[in-house]
Amino acid sequence: MAYFFSEPSRTFSEYLLVPGYSSAECLPDNVSLKTPLVKFNKGEEPAITMNIPLTSAIMQSVSDDKMAVALAKEGGLSFIFGSQTIENQAAMVRRVKTYKAGFVPSDSNVKPTATLNDILKLKEEKGHSTVAVTEDGTKHGKLVGIVTSRDYRVSRMSGEELVQDFMTPLDKLITAPANTSLKVANDIIWDNKLNSLPILDDEGHLLYFVFRKDYHSHKDNPLENLDSHKKYIVGAGINTRDFAERVPALINAGADVLCIDSSEGYSEWQKITLKWIRDNYGDTVKCGAGNVVDAEGFRFLAECGADFIKVGIGGGSICITREQKGIGRGQATALIEVCKARDEYFKETGIYIPVCSDGGIVHDYHFTLALAMGADFLMLGRYFARFDESPTNKVMVGGTFMKEYWGEGSARAKNWQRYDLGGSKKLSFEEGVDSYVPYAGSLKDNLALTLSKVRHTMCNCGAVTIPELQQKAKLTLVSATSIIEGGAHDVVLKEHTRSEH
User: With contact defined as beta carbons under 8 Å apart, do 410 and 429 qualify?
Assistant: no
Give me the sheet containing 143-147, strands edge to edge: 109-110, 131-134, 143-147, 168-169
Of 452, 373, 398, 467, residue with least CA distance to 16: 373
Amino acid (one-letter) located at 378: L
Q: How far is CA 213 from CA 106, 158, 190, in A?
A: 15, 31, 11
Q: How far is CA 415 from CA 39, 261, 420, in A?
A: 28, 10, 9
User: With contact defined as beta carbons under 8 Å apart, do 311 and 357 qualify?
Assistant: yes
User: With contact defined as beta carbons under 8 Å apart, do 225 and 72 qualify?
Assistant: yes
Task: Determine whether 418 is an active site residue.
Answer: yes
**Radius of gyration (C-alpha) of the chain in whole angstroms:** 24
Task: Determine whether 322 is an active site residue.
Answer: no
Active-site residue (options: 418, 455, 459, 461): 418
Dmax (CA) for the chain in angstroms is: 81
Q: How many CA atoms lie within 13 A of 180 on its CB side?
A: 24
Active-site residue (options: 26, 287, 304, 319): 319
Question: How many CB atoms neighbour CB 282 within 10 A?
Answer: 8
- Where does 382-465 have alpha helices with state H? 382-385, 443-460
Burial (CB < 10 A; 0-12, 13-18, 19+), residue 154, is exposed
CB-based contacts of 316, cutoff 8 Å, min separation 6:
57, 358, 359, 360, 381, 382, 407, 432
Measured between alpha carbons, how far is 207 from 201 in angstroms, rounded to an integer?
7
So which residues are the catalytic ones? 319, 418
